[in-house]
Amino acid sequence: MERVLGLGGHFLRATDPAALTAWYRDSLGLDIDEHGMWQQEAGPTVFAAFEADTDYFGSREQQVMLNFRVRDLDAMLRQLREKGADVDAETQEMDGIGKFGWVTDPEGNRIELWEAG
């Protein structure tokens, strides 16, 4: 059986694609080129389905949630707050999994940040 090798891309609708791309580059540090190519560091990726009525993604209209691995969650959340980003006050820690925090991008997409533990 053929298998996928990993995520090949993540695509978002945006009212202002250039501004949203700049936010991901400037606020989260995505080193993306003019075509959106980004060479990410190796590490685990979680693929999980949630119940249709979950509030975990924030808005019920949001059908998927992007999760980024980060080295230092507290430092990333501080950096985002300093840039005026909409950062959730709450963080969560799961034994053996890591720490989680959330930010909402300028288009209203809730994003999860994960410091593996």
Residue 6 has pLDDT above 90, yes or no: no
Q: Measuring CA to CA, how many Å separate 90 from each of 9, 16, 102?
A: 28, 29, 8
Q: Distances in Å between the alpha carbon of 109 and those of 21, 48, 105? A: 13, 18, 5
pLDDT > 90? residue 7: no
- Whether the per-residue pLDDT at 103 is higher than 90: the answer is yes
User: Can you tell me the distance from the alpha carbon of 112 to that of 72, in angstroms, rounded to the nearest whole number?
Assistant: 13
Region 9-15: what's the mean pLDDT?
92
Contact at 8 Å (CB) between 111 and 102? yes
Length of the chain: 117
Q: Could you tell me which residue, 106 or 8, shows the higher pLDDT?
A: 106
Q: Which pLDDT band holds residue 15 (cuts at 50, 70, 90)?
A: very high
Cβ proximity of 26 and 83 under 8 Å? yes
Domains by residue range for the chain, with CATH:
45-116 (3.30.720.110)
Q: What is the pLDDT of residues 22-51, one digit of tens each?
A: 999 999 999 999 898 999 999 989 999 999
Read off the pLDDT of residues 63-77 as tens digits, 9 standing for 90 and up: 999 999 999 999 999
